[in-house]
Amino acid sequence: MKRSGLFFLLLNLFFLSCTVVSAQISHGGKPFFLQKLPPGPLKGEAEHHYGAAKSPLGDFGVFEMPVFDLDSVMQEDQLNEGNMQRSYRFAHKFFTKIEKRKNVALTVLPDGTKVWQINIRSKGAYSINVLLTDFELPPGGKLFVYSEDHAHVIGSFDYRNNSPEKILPIQPVAGESIIIEYSEPDGAPFEGNFTVSEVNHDYRDFLRREPGNDGGSVFSCMPDALCSEIDKNLVRSTVLLMIDGSIACSGVLVNNTEDDGTPYILTAVHCLNSELENGTYKDKDYYITHSGTVITFFNYNRSVCGSQLKGTEEMTMAETYPRTILEKRDVALLELREKPPVYYDAYYAGWNMDESGRTGMHVNLHHPSGAIKKYGMVEADLSVVSFQSPKIFESESHWRVSGWTTGSTYPGSSGSPLFDKNGRVVGTLSGGASECKNSAPNGDFDYFTILHKSWETSEADNQLKTYLDPNNKGLKQQAGMDPNKENPLVRLSNMDFSAGDALDVKTMEPPNTGYVYGSSNWDTNEFAEEFTIDRAVEAFGVYLFVPQLPSNGVTGVEISIYSGAISPANLLQTQNFSPQYLDYSKSAGFNPKDKNMISFGTESFVLFDEPVKIDKGKFFISYKITGSVSFCVYNAKFADANKPNTAWVKDPSLGWIQAVAYLPAQAVKTSLAIQPLVRNTKTDSLPEIPGRKDDPFFFDSANRILSLWEPANEAVSVNIYSLTGVLMEKIQINKGEKSASLTGKNKGTVGIVQLILFNNMYSKKIIY
């Protein structure tokens, strides 16, 4: 079974029950002990001086993980990886019981704010991730996780991350020592609580390693997905899964016959149950728990063909809930707790549930060893076979690929989709023995589930048909669905890599030091890229291509959008640049973690708090270095000498000047590797209910009060989302009441209110 134990990335939505609760999304901010604190005497168990570079922990609240025999673990891994039923493991798991209310360093600040800290150390770990249980925070409470050297910070997590299961998995943080910091304001309605129940010790340097970049032959025959000729919609549907903080697998987002965007993920059961290969079956509660540890990564692709850039890791979702678990067929259908946000640009793949899916060309997309998405293709019909022992899987329940024309699979590819000639899913990978031999596959067999054999079973609530054809339309094939088809998302770029443009890093010539378009011994600290559009757009965020940096945890960099007829003039929005991905551990739950910026160049996505409306004409995206970080963005080496300059530099004395005129001795006509993600401006697609008769609620923006026309006959839950689909707020209107107050937002902030009343879902846009 090609499952990979890579603990690589995590995000935001955790599904341990069918109850809808808030997503495990981080909410920004900065830990108290990484910022300048107000003067005054400290109180409590840790009365130490602290500041931006110190911690009050001392030796209190420090927990050392025991030493384990790494050689034995690696020998065991080597044996397991030679068995096509085994996973690729990267972390050693410690089960702990570190309670926030016991043996934890506590500091009381002058204003009454309480700050608890836990320092977890595991000697030799490349990174550590944790799982938090008993997790429940009050409004105002904030939890962060960061490395002891402060280079990698994830969080904050707050009351919006509470769930009925009281579990929060946290993504990996680089280093052998991490700090969990929880702060709570004076007067909080109750004292927050959590327990660190699992600590995962990364012994493979997973964060710094990008499989396939090591120059070896392991992935030599596997083309990067975006650099192949395959339908790019299928690439958008395939996802990387991180499970239980130590296993990496692949999966695919699939459509249903209603085209309603219910976020179902198809993968393999053995990714959730590592004992399945031994014939050990689990109960429903087991799968509910393990599905809740899943982190789903969208769009983790090679951004520039032929480069060594790591792909985007920011687009993640945490938690799923199991809908169909068929152990004897190795088919798992999971449901994400929320739909992927608009800017993820996810595609819902179609499927084929009949025998016609076995003929013709077939394509496989997968994440081997948690690497960027790879492509495989075979120009042959599939065989129906029995895979492994009948005691594990039913006989004749698998397709066999008898050698690949292009590509192969690898540990971590388990659960990946097999598409038929029409681009519809016909199976998911269970296991196999294919591998790359130099630049060609070796011809060994791989085995995929026969998906249509899981369409109907003897249990109506445990079959694919119930969820993928909810209204029993009787369809056996379903086309894919693009939720952004009517108004597609576009990445704007002034670089054309297909025409020969290349990435470059322009550095200062001696005696000067540093980057021409970044930190240097000069006083310039802001750089911008110019774009021209012929119609109004809304920008969701921006991609930056950043070369290797001397440290992880980028702080002190701001991303801004300007309008201007000639040069950057009118500031539209500013956003901090803090590239992170989502991680999970049983002791700490889901947590954001700083990306590895040391070992490779990276593509990072910066999401704006709200989409930025931009009029037609020119606009500019800039990055400003406000701290001491060493930072720059790639610039272009043009293949066409006649290509115009689009890069700008802000001189302290002269203001904005074009890069071609900057530093005359080193002037260069270039573009900066910045790509805004935009779409045409239009009103939100959610239906507004016209008029009081059909509109059950209204919003008083002046007083921030949401009211029903009539008192509620039962408690009404209300969710308010941003235009990008991120949950901003969750409130309740109690039975017999008509109104509830919303929290303050910046004037002009747009929200989408969703509530269920009289068994109907209502959605409407409001403006704060």
Give residue-wise pLDDT tens across range 528-584: 999 999 999 999 999 999 998 876 667 789 999 999 999 999 999 999 988 887 777
By the 8 A CB rule, do 156 and 590 touch? Answer: no
* Band (206; pLDDT cuts 50, 70, 90): low
Tell me which fold the domain 225-338+346-478 belongs to: Thrombin, subunit H (2.40.10)
Distances (CA, A) of 504 to 302, 305, 596, 659: 17, 15, 20, 14
- CATH topology of 3-202 equal to that of 697-767? no
Burial of 729 per CB tally in 10 Å (0-12, 13-18, 19+): middle
List all residues 6 or more positions away from 9 whose beta carbon is below 8 Å from its beta carbon: 171, 240, 242, 295, 297, 300, 313, 316, 370, 581, 582, 583
pLDDT, residue 251, reads: 97
SS (H, E, C) 656-694: EEEHHHCCHHHCCCCCECEEEEEEECCCCCCCCCCCCCC
With 70 as the cut, is the pLDDT of residue 690 above it?
A: no
pLDDT averaged over every residue in the chain: 83
By the 8 A CB rule, do 158 and 13 touch? Answer: no
With 90 as the cut, is the pLDDT of residue 69 above it?
A: no
Burial of 640 per CB tally in 10 Å (0-12, 13-18, 19+): exposed
The residue ranking higher by pLDDT, 131 or 302, is: 302
Choose the weakest-confidence range: 159-173, 334-348, 691-705.
691-705
* Band (148; pLDDT cuts 50, 70, 90): confident
Give residue-wise pLDDT tens across range 449-508: 999 999 999 999 999 999 999 999 999 999 999 999 999 999 999 999 989 999 999 999
Q: Is 291 strand, coil or helix?
A: helix
With 60 as the cut, is the pLDDT of residue 685 above it?
A: no
Q: Is the pTM of this model over 0.85?
A: no
Choose the weakest-confidence range: 38-52, 54-68, 84-98, 346-360.
38-52
Query: Percent of the chain having pLDDT more than 70?
Result: 84
* Band (648; pLDDT cuts 50, 70, 90): very high
Burial of 387 per CB tally in 10 Å (0-12, 13-18, 19+): buried
Amino acid at 456: E
Choose the weakest-confidence range: 153-162, 203-212, 473-482.
203-212
Assigned CATH for 490-579+595-680? 2.60.120
Give residue-wise pLDDT tens across range 358-398: 999 999 999 988 889 999 999 999 999 999 867 789 999 99
Mean pLDDT of 671-700: 67
Helix locations, 8-133, DSSP H? 70-81
pLDDT, residue 27, reads: 58
Which residues make beta-bridge pairs with 6? none
Mean pLDDT of 406-425: 94
Q: How many CB atoms lie within 10 A of CB 459?
A: 10
- Top CATH class, 697-767: mainly beta
* Band (61; pLDDT cuts 50, 70, 90): confident
The residue ranking higher by pLDDT, 224 or 242, is: 224
* Band (155; pLDDT cuts 50, 70, 90): confident
Mean pLDDT of 101-128: 88
* Band (13; pLDDT cuts 50, 70, 90): very low
pLDDT, residue 260, reads: 94
Q: How far apart, in whole angstroms, are the C-alpha atoms of residue 466 and residue 337?
A: 18
Domain boundaries, the chain: 3-202, 225-338+346-478, 490-579+595-680, 697-767
Mean pLDDT of 187-196: 92
With 50 as the cut, is the pLDDT of residue 36 above it?
A: no
List all residues 6 or more positions away from 626 whose beta carbon is below 8 Å from its beta carbon: 525, 556, 557, 558
* Band (77; pLDDT cuts 50, 70, 90): low
The residue ranking higher by pLDDT, 566 or 93, is: 566
- Top CATH class, 3-202: mainly beta
Give residue-wise pLDDT tens across range 254-266: 999 999 999 999 9
pLDDT, residue 55, reads: 39
